[in-house]
Amino acid sequence: MRTIIVGTRQSALALTQTGQAVELLKQLAEKHGIACQFEIKKIVTKGDRILDVTLSKVGGKGLFVKEIEQALTDGEIDIAVHSMKDMPFELPEGLVIGAIPEREDPRDALITRGAKSLDDLPQGALVGTSSLRRSSQLQHVRPDLRIESLRGNIDSRLRKLDEENFDAILLAAAGLHRIGWRDRITAYLPPEQCLPAVGQGALCIECRGSDDFVLDLLGKFQHEPTALAVRAERAFLGRLNGGCQVPLGAYASVSAAGGEAEAPELTLTGMVGSPDGAVMLKETASGSDPEALGRLVADKLIAQGAERILNEART
Ligand SMILES: NCc1[nH]cc(CCC(=O)O)c1CC(=O)O
């Protein structure tokens, strides 16, 4: 009987989503007659240790995944459950994405102290977010809003909304749904208004490329429409050399294919904006090859000066 050791961060969200993924993996293993058991191992990452600095200033990609990937490479763990949006474009040598399960809600959620919606926030209201992507899109439609950095796990960010002087904060709906805090959400921001981060709402189950036993099991966990959408979004990310610390967003959806033989059609929208929202570039395109589509949308934005905007935001 193989024991599969599953690595996770120790935040409430990480523990919850890892627990949920392991439950589903157990069911799949049983259904397919794969003999295995699971053990969960908690790992502290750099992103968890440095909580007092804005993410874009901590620097380095993959703040939440590096130590976990090292544990995978060293054989201390066999699979890792990550939020897809925390995954850098490139994986270390020897590691692969073993499965992309079905996506949760990809949208950003507004959580206010009183106001009923984004439009209902008073002039000059104080909004907490450390995401340049969120502040850019928010200030694009509401230049009057004041944005202040807000870091920490979901639980501590919600506490800061209550205790500090924020009128509202923005969080990913998926995280709130997963930890059972749906009722804290005031409003969902549609992708047309606030394009999510690449991979937002999806999970990434990472493993060693050489571990056939685990790869076989994880293959049964893959949700093809989600995987196609995420591949397109990540190809967009890769072309722009982006990470979660730059004002860049993308969202792909899969429309039902005409027939069994037809490849599903994907529609991808990508955005790059200046952190103050004054410049907002957005492009949409459709296609059936996810990587080609991601690169196409990125190239359309590059033609409009996206790389200059990203470089300015990086410095
Ligand atoms: N950068 C932190 C992070 N990474 C993943 C999620 C949860 C949402 C998801 O799984 O996409 C969050 C919190 C947030 O943005 O509110």
| Domain range annotation of the chain | 2-102+202-222, 108-189, 230-314
Q: Regarding the domain delimited by 108-189, which CATH topology (the fold level of the hierarchy) does it fall under? A: D-Maltodextrin-Binding Protein; domain 2 (3.40.190)
pLDDT score of 63 more than 80: no
Q: Find the residues whose C-beta lies inside 6 A of ligand 1.
A: 13, 83, 85-86, 154, 171-172, 174-175, 200-201, 244
pLDDT surpassing 60 at residue 56: no
Examine the pLDDT at 156 and tell me if it is beyond 70.
yes
Per-residue pLDDT tens over the stretch 232-245: 999 999 999 876 57
Gap from CA of 35 to ligand 1 centroid (Å): 33
Residue 289: name the closest of 239, 258, 252 by CA. 252
* 200, 233, 234, 248, best to mutate for ligand 1 pocket (most atoms within 8 Å of CB): 200
Of 268, 275, 228, nearest to 248 by C-alpha is 275
Q: How far is the CA of 172 from the centre of ligand 1 (A)?
A: 6
Amino acid 165: pLDDT: 87
Options 3.30.420.40, 3.40.190.10, 3.40.50.300, 3.40.50.620; CATH of 2-102+202-222 = 3.40.190.10
> Tell me, what's the pLDDT at 260?
65
The preferred substitution site among 11, 56, 85 for testing ligand 1, maximizing ligand atoms within 8 Å of CB, is 85
Atom number, ligand 1, closest to the C-alpha of residue 86: 4
Structure ipTM over 0.90, yes or no: yes
Task: Go through 106-130 and write b for each residue having 16 or more CB atoms within 10 A of its CB, e for each that does not.
Answer: bbbbbbbeebeebeebeeebbbbbb
pLDDT tens for residues 1-28?
999 999 999 889 999 999 999 999 999 9
Q: List pLDDT tens digits, range 79-126.
A: 999 999 999 999 999 999 999 999 999 999 999 999 999 999 999 999
Domain 230-314 has CATH 3.30.160.40: yes
The per-residue pLDDT for 61 is: 57
Domain pair 2-102+202-222 / 230-314, same fold: no
For residue 155, what pLDDT is reported? 87
